[in-house]
Amino acid sequence: MKVRQSVYDTYWKTAAERQEIFYKKLSKIVSPLTNDPIFRDFKFCNVYRASDRVTQYLIKNVMYKGNYTQEDTLFRIFLFRLLNKHETWMRLEKILGKVSLTDFTFERYTKALEKIKSEGKPIYGNAFILCANKVFGYDSKYENHLALLENSFKKNKIATGLLRSKTLRELFENLRALPLIGNFMAYQIAIDFNYSKVFNFDENDFTIAGPGAVRGIRKCFLDTGGKSGEYVIQFMVNYQEKEFKRLGINFKSLWGRPMHAIDCQGWFCETDKYSRVKFPDLKSNRVRIKTHYKPVNNPIEYFYPPKWKINDQIRSGSIL
């Protein structure tokens, strides 16, 4: 493989800088968070997917709050990630009392989402572009998604098949077989399931290069030698320590947890975004960064899957 050195090095440098910003925010340092004008002006995801605000809410309030069966947990995660907006989830809980497979009916949840929509509030987050065809015959996206949940969890009991998955790849393939779920969304939901108590697969065993990651890979590499996007992502996982050392970078990991495939995949997306400003001559089908950075006065109390064994380090204030 042949790298485009300037952009390839930017991948590692910006990952380190974004982690510096993460820890400064955690330490309640207000200014300056960074001297990088691109990071100052535009919004970027965290290096670690599990650190992003919506995923943090998912982990704390959907996966690890309350006492639910495995099937219920999968249903809750699935619904949350389809909506991908924690404000919608909070409103659903107020309307329904609780969100669970046990009391789920298509009619009841449709009425709840219709009520939220009538209040003039968006139902969906904008991080993912979801497939929105009318496969179940409904005009609205949310009705088709609720029909997907009804068909999958109530009528066809797909939770049983999901629970039998022996690998992350098999879990992905079982999700990918569902209507309205493409490769990227199946991978995202599989990772979410794996954050929960239900599964404990090695995240580095399988990955999928989403559209943004593919754009980032094309900018970082002049030639991948015919290697797949998934191969390149795994390459980044394996060589991260070596590359940070080569560049003289002291990368502050997530309390000792290195970047995993889902994180390296995501950082290719962010490198693509960053490069639109830093390297504007590198053309793709995206030419600008849509979202400007706006400080949010709502600090996150970080909580990660307990099996990662890093939550005690957060409370102690240590940084590895």
Which structure tokens are listed for 124?
A: 């969906």
Where b means 16+ CB within 10 Å and e means fewer, 71-110 reads: bbbbbbbbbbbbbbbbebbebbeeeeeebbbeebebeebb
pLDDT of 20: 96
Give the single-character DSSP code of 292. B
Query: Dihedral through CA 69, CA 254, CA 38, CA 34, nearest 10?
Result: 130
* Res 22: pLDDT: 96
pTM value is: 0.93
Nearest to 88 by CA among 40, 122, 46: 122
Residue 259 DSSP code: P
- What is residue 147's predicted lDDT score, i.e. its pLDDT? 95
CB contact set of 25 (below 8 Å; sequence gap of 6+): 33, 299
Q: Which helix (H) or strand (E) holds 3?
A: strand 2-3
Three-state SS string over 115-154 comes to HHHHCCCCCCCCCCCCCCCCCCCCCCHHHHHHHHHHHHHH
Q: Which pLDDT tens digits describe the chain residue by residue (320 residues)? A: 999 999 999 999 999 999 999 999 998 887 789 999 999 999 999 999 999 999 999 999 999 999 999 999 999 999 999 999 999 999 999 999 999 999 999 999 999 999 999 999 899 987 655 566 777 888 899 999 999 999 999 888 888 899 999 999 999 999 999 999 999 999 999 999 999 999 999 999 999 999 999 999 999 999 999 999 999 999 999 999 999 999 999 999 999 999 999 999 999 999 999 999 999 999 776 767 778 878 777 889 999 999 999 999 987 655 55
Distance of alpha carbon 79 from alpha carbon 101, whole angstroms:
10
- Which pLDDT does position 191 carry in this prediction? 98
